[in-house]
Amino acid sequence: DTAVSQTPKYLVTQMGNDKSIKCEQNLGHDTMYWYKQDSKKFLKIMFSYNNKELIINETVPNRFSPKSPDKAHLNLHINSLELGDSAVYFCASRAGAQPLHFGNGTRLTVT
């Protein structure tokens, strides 16, 4: 199936740990994103990335870092996790001016 896939679907971890969320798209898209959806369902863009440019939302703490080993992958690394990082994280991709395609999300719970 052509899609944006994220792993894991659920992630429960303790404060202070370092974790990663993986994202892969097989749609041939040139731009990938990470969004954070909080408990009130607000969606906030964290990063956008294509082959040429990484754009970081300035409000995102530097504990969060995207890693793109190739055009089809954009992983999210989070260091020193905090309680406030608990949220659902969505990966998305698009080609040109076309609509975003979203993954099904990773629910991160920090205890």
Residue 18, Cβ density class (10 Å: 0-12 exposed, 13-18 middle, ≥19 buried): exposed
14 or 97: CB nearest another protein: 97
Q: Which of 55, 67, 95, 109 binds another protein (CB under 8 A)?
A: 55
1, 14, 39, 41: which one binds another protein (CB under 8 A) = 41
Q: Does 95 bind another protein (CB under 8 A)?
A: no
Question: Of 14-22, 59-67, 70-78, 96-104, which part binds another protein (CB under 8 A)?
Answer: 96-104
Please report whether residue 34 would count as binding another protein according to CB under 8 A.
Answer: no
> Are 89 and 4 within 8 A, CB to CB?
no
Residues that bind another protein (CB under 8 A): 4, 33, 35, 40-43, 45, 48, 55, 90, 92, 97, 99-105
